[in-house]
Amino acid sequence: MPGTYDDIARFYDVDMARNMPFDDVAFYADLCARHGGRVLELGCGSGRILLPLLQRGIDAVGVDASAGMLAELRRKAAALGLRAPVARMDVTRLALRGGFGVVLCPYSLVTYVTEDADLARLLAAVRRLLAPGGVFVVDAFVPKPVVAQQEFQPDYRRPFGDRTLARWKRILAASLCAAGWLSGPLYGQQPQGSPRPQSQAQSPWAWLTGDKAENKSKPAAKKPAATGIA
């Protein structure tokens, strides 16, 4: 999973970061401010939550397994004049000192921990890291019935610098899937054995200039669309 997020780190803020249906950042910031104490964010990614916490003067640190996402976080923190107290770390193997007043596990991160042993290790680590009276905040999506669709359907078009990022999606075997390829400079190489899409409709991401898609880049193999950070 870290490799998947490395691939999308540069446009994560335009893609998945904008899919949250409510202002969870304000919720976390208000909760942390009210509760007090140091804050640990698990799966801090590119800083969607961590940076606003730091801007509010909250003593917060973050961990994430993706080097690419952490690089984006550090870049954005530097632009804001903030120190970025983050570490690259697997959330199921947390190597931190305790004493946190709040531990955040946002944006369905917990659903990426699919093995019982890993989940037990994560929960035990959080318990160890929390100060007496500390709180552990977990966000997880509620599964709902879906209808499989074999063809890619338009998902969104969003501004991305001087271009537009467009995404298509399809549902296979009741799981949301997307073939992660872009036209444009974001992907540097084509994974071995990756099929080239035969038409724009089969391409979930593409750079758009005006109404015309620029299908110039190298596709990646089809993989599940991510819903959080592991």
**C-beta neighbour count of 93 within 10 angstroms:** 11
Tokens for 20, please give them: 């949250």
CA–CA distance from 211 to each of 34, 95, 206 (Å)?
Answer: 47, 49, 12
Task: Give the pLDDT score at 17.
Answer: 66
CA–CA distance from 217 to each of 149, 203, 205 (Å)?
Answer: 26, 11, 11
| CATH superfamily placement of domain 2-138 | Vaccinia Virus protein VP39 (3.40.50.150)
- Beta-bridge mates of residue 225: none
CA angle 177, 111, 223 (to 5 degrees): 20
- For the chain, percent helix, then strand, then coil, each to nearest 5? 30, 30, 45
Contact 197, 181 (CB under 8 A): yes
Tokens for 167, please give them: 């995404």
**In angstroms, rounded to a whole number, what is the distance separating the alpha carbons of residues 215 and 206?**
7
- Beta-bridge mates of residue 83: none
- Rounded to 5 degrees, what are φ and ψ at 18? -100, 10
pLDDT along the chain (230 residues), means of 10: 71 71 90 96 95 97 95 96 95 95 94 92 96 94 79 84 82 51 30 37 40 35 33
Q: Are strands 100-105 and 130-138 parallel, antiparallel or unpaired?
A: parallel
Contact 216, 183 (CB under 8 A): yes
Contact 99, 36 (CB under 8 A): no
Tokens for 98, please give them: 């305790």
> Quick one: DSSP state of residue 125?
H
Task: Give the pLDDT score at 3.
Answer: 60
CA 26 to chain centroid: 18
CATH 3.40.50.150 domain position(s) in the chain: 2-138
Task: Give the pLDDT score at 140.
Answer: 86
Task: Give the pLDDT score at 143.
Answer: 75
Task: Give the pLDDT score at 124.
Answer: 96
Task: Give the pLDDT score at 171.
Answer: 81
**C-beta neighbour count of 92 within 10 angstroms:** 19
**In angstroms, rounded to a whole number, what is the distance separating the alpha carbons of residues 35 and 51?**
18
Report the SS3 class of residue 72. helix
Residue matched to tokens 């400079």: 185
Task: Give the pLDDT score at 170.
Answer: 83
